[in-house]
Amino acid sequence: MNMIPFDEEKEKKEIVNRYRALLRFTEGKADNSDKKMIRTAFNLALDAHAGVRRKSGEPYILHPIEVAIIVAKEIGLGATSIAAALIHDVVEDSDYTLEDIDRLFGEKVAKIIDGLTKISGVFDQNVSAQAENFRKMLLTISDDIRVILIKLADRLHNMRTMDDMPSHKQLKIASETLYLYAPLAHRLGLYNIKTELEDLSLKYTEPEVYRDIILKLKESKADEMKYLKRFSQKIRDDLNREGFDFLIKERTKSVYSIRKKMVNQGISFDEVYDKFAIRIIINTPPEREKSDCWKVYSIVTDSYRPSPDRLRDWVSAPKSNGYESLHTTVMGPEGHWVEVQIRTQRMDDKAERGYAAHWKYKEDSSSDEKLERWIERIRELLESPEQSAVDFVDNFKLDLFSDEIFVFTPKGDMKILPKGATPLDFSFEIHTEVGLKTLGTKVNGKLVSLNYKLKSGDQVEIITSNKYKPKEEWLNYVVSARAKSKIKSALREEKKVVADQGRATLERKMNFIKVRLTDSLVQKMLNHFNIKTPQELYYKVGNGVIDNRHLREFTKSDNRGIYSYIKSKFKRSAKQDVIEAKKEKTTATKLVFGTKEDELAYSLAKCCNPIPGDSVFGFITSTEGLKVHRNNCPNAVSLQSRYAARTIKAKWVQADRDKFVAEIVIKGIDTVGLVNKVTQILSNNLNVNIRGINITADEGLFEGIITMEIEDKLHLDKVIENLGKVEGIESISREYKKI
């Protein structure tokens, strides 16, 4: 293979030219000591990267220079960041150490380089390792956000220069960029960088789609730009007449945003109606910013009709990433919709440079409350040690990608939440303890469900109770990373409590059959149930996943058990016919117990009136012998959890038909002749003997209890099915009584 010779003189000239370009972007922002630091950093980078080339063949030193230019020009950072950008790869790629950096540039630059070095391999390993490294990267935000800003500049330059890489690497880097770096740039308010990262990512992830959109944009751009010039001329004339100092930019929608709209709305390129837009930037004093933006809006909408549902006011309520602007879409000549953005010069700087632009307008950059609040949120997420790294990244991404809504407390304080947020998200935004104790919520004075979708402008009141605890389903009700993280943490704590209760329950059950819960017995249980840890075993016992049936199977296989005790104590004799006196009996009906289906003396619990066909279990009472309950009896959970060792498997065996008493509750809308229809169906059609019927009506609604004799559950199901067809009956349920 022939090597292409390098023109060293030409390369040296290029390096010097790029370095001079960098210095031009520092003019007015760097004093002599700053310039000396930048020069020292440049010389150090030259030495560290001497003879090293990129995949494209160009000298490696051009990469840190270009990253430094992005840092200076596009993000607007100062000399410390520029110097750090120039030497960001030095410690990793050469013999220079952090101690050398500290000695030459001081502690600040050394800390930034340390942060950049730690996160240099964020995406070079498997998924969970990537996630863990990303977590480390965000840890650096707590120390100095400039680490992330320089990292974004580094990623942007890499994306701009990927053409010489193998396609599989292009796809990998582009996918990672779309996954985290673009939304991170968006969250930090770096709109231009976010847009370019998205467009460049699409270039490599969907090259054909990218080329197609670029081609179509070029074809239509000339005509569209002529149209926009005509469209904006009227606005220019009106703004000049009103004495505004302004600039109007005609702009094209980004390739990625056009593609996103095509996919989301299922439309073609030609059907994307707002591919082109204008931005009006006004120079106005800080105290008049808001009023002047609305004056410009009024001027625009005097000439062109606005779409009422396309107004976005981020001037009165800026986005959480600091973005401020007034957006509207208006109908221009010839029936074309045009998006109009209205903002001040300060707002435009901030939209393009994000929080870095804040430092131009504020003496103390740390006073930016929204950025501090967001960083504090990251710290909170990072402080959850139990959370897996992959879960962390997923939760973090929720906040990165979210659009926002603005809602209010009862006192009128505004809270910013992700789009799609619920009152439960709001409660965790107020305070973790408020979220964990949420019992109910009111939105605009009305009670709503916890998964109600909030809208901008809603006023939310949280009703709390000290007795209330988070539930697993809450994770389906929230969208914010904060709420998800806090709920998961609380559930983990609750799981520990359940596991402790489960251990106590298991010990009690074993004591009941005179067996000690030793480590060797626990190990046997782990093997039997195929469970890895004792904690998981106790948790499954505590929440009922491992119930009496499972434990009986285990104890039987282990030559121990309570079944023999139950069988001997309640073995049915010829004289024990307690149950028969409760029935109007014609022939015997069998209810059998345990795995061997023995007949034992029993009586039916009055709280749930079990009938043949119901799923049932036996419970050994202290005074009344063996009682039979339905599995869905309201007392079942209490009995099976508190007295699990005294329960026994039971089931009905097919036999001749007996009559059993059942009660049903019917509810619905009161209609003429309802009672007649019900009694006709029961007596004439289904041959049911009605023992009692009691129906009351109030304000057009009725509720009734019907007591009747039926043969078994199949018979009762048929009764319920036929009654369900009666007009006006909305619900039918079995009657229960609490003991």
Reported confidence tier of residue 733, pLDDT bands at 50, 70, 90: confident
pLDDT higher than threshold 50 for residue 580: no
Mean pLDDT throughout 373-379? Answer: 56
pLDDT of residue 198: 93
pLDDT by residue (tens digit) across 647-693?
Answer: 888 888 765 455 677 888 888 766 667 777 888 888 776 778 888 88
Helix pair angle (481-512, 389-401), 10° resolution: 150
pLDDT higher than threshold 80 for residue 292: yes
Domains along the sequence of the chain with CATH: 8-164 (1.10.3210.10), 209-361 (3.30.460.10), 566-653 (no CATH), 661-734 (3.30.70.260)
How is residue 576 annotated by DSSP? -
pLDDT of residue 375: 57
pLDDT by residue (tens digit) across 232-277?
Answer: 999 999 999 999 999 998 887 889 988 988 888 888 888 887 777 8
Out of 93, 404, 500, 536, which one is annotated catalytic? 93
Who has greater pLDDT, 131 or 485? 485
**Cα(296)–Cα(116) distance, integer angstroms:** 44
List Cβ neighbours of 713 (8 Å cut-off, separation of 6 or more): 611, 612, 613, 614
Catalytic-residue membership of 74: no
Who has greater pLDDT, 577 or 526? 526
Prediction pTM value: 0.53
pLDDT by residue (tens digit) across 466-477?
Answer: 777 788 788 888
Start-to-end C-alpha separation, the chain: 91
**Cα(142)–Cα(136) distance, integer angstroms:** 11
pLDDT higher than threshold 60 for residue 129: no
Give SS3 for 665.
Answer: strand
Residue type, 112: I
pLDDT of residue 187: 72
Exposure pattern of 69-104 as b/e (b: 16+ CB <10 Å)?
bbbbbbbbbbbbbbbbbbbbbbbeebebeeebbbeb
Mean pLDDT throughout 315-338? Answer: 84
Give me the residue label for tokens 């596009």: 74
Please report which helix (H) or strand (E) contains residue 469, including its range.
Answer: none
**Cα(23)–Cα(82) distance, integer angstroms:** 10
Who has greater pLDDT, 587 or 490? 490
pLDDT of residue 148: 81
Least confident of 75-79, 311-315, 698-702: 698-702
Length of the chain: 739
Who has greater pLDDT, 351 or 374? 351
**Cα(456)–Cα(412) distance, integer angstroms:** 13
pLDDT higher than threshold 60 for residue 141: no
pLDDT by residue (tens digit) across 150-189?
Answer: 888 999 999 999 988 888 888 888 887 887 788 778 777 7
Please report which helix (H) or strand (E) contains residue 739, including its range.
Answer: none
How deeply is 374 buried, as exposed, middle or buried, from its count of CB atoms within 10 A (0-12, 13-18, 19+)? buried
pLDDT by residue (tens digit) across 425-456?
Answer: 999 888 888 888 888 888 888 878 888 998 87
Residue 599 CA, distance from chain mean position: 53
Residue pair 684/719 in contact by the 8 Å Cβ criterion: no
Out of 14, 34, 58, 92, which one is annotated catalytic? 92
Residue pair 512/562 in contact by the 8 Å Cβ criterion: yes
User: Nearest CA to 594 among 566, 620, 572?
Assistant: 566
**Cα(419)–Cα(696) distance, integer angstroms:** 46
Give me the residue label for tokens 């045009």: 338
pLDDT of residue 391: 53
Give me the residue label for tokens 């990129």: 54
Who has greater pLDDT, 607 or 236? 236
Catalytic-residue membership of 7: no
Q: How many CB atoms lie within 10 A of CB 553?
A: 14
Beta bridge partners of 620: 626
List Cβ neighbours of 366 (8 Å cut-off, separation of 6 or more): 372
pLDDT higher than threshold 60 for residue 7: yes
Reported confidence tier of residue 126, pLDDT bands at 50, 70, 90: very low
Q: What are phi and psi of 606, to 5 degrees?
A: -80, -15
The two structure tokens encoding residue 569:
């104590």
Average of per-residue pLDDT values in the chain:
78
pLDDT of residue 586: 38
List the Cα angle 293/299/305 in 5-degree steps.
110
Reported confidence tier of residue 402, pLDDT bands at 50, 70, 90: low
pLDDT of residue 119: 60
pLDDT of residue 246: 93
In the chain, % of residues over pLDDT 70 = 80
pLDDT of residue 136: 53
pLDDT higher than threshold 80 for residue 723: yes
